[in-house]
Amino acid sequence: MVASCESSIIYKLIASRPKDLADVESMFEAQTAIGARLDWEFLDRWAGEWTIDERLAPYRARFKPD
């Protein structure tokens, strides 16, 4: 089984090690480059559940479409 990009982002934001944060940045950039739409409802829900909203916030500001 392979985790979705959104799940991987949440897991990596939970861990929040420098390598994980670099991976998160790369995932957002790659998804943007190919024009893929991330499931922001999923990201916002699970960031809230894990109380990591503040970790997701910079990416939301940069990558979430209006």
For 54-66, the pLDDT digits (tens) are 999 999 999 998 7
Query: At CA 41, angle to CA 35 and CA 44, rounded to 5?
Result: 105
Q: What is the pLDDT of residue 1?
A: 73
This model's pTM is above 0.75: yes
Side chain identity at residue 56, one-letter code: L
For 9-51, the pLDDT digits (tens) are 999 999 999 999 999 999 999 999 999 999 999 999 999 999 9
- Rg from Cα positions in the chain: 11
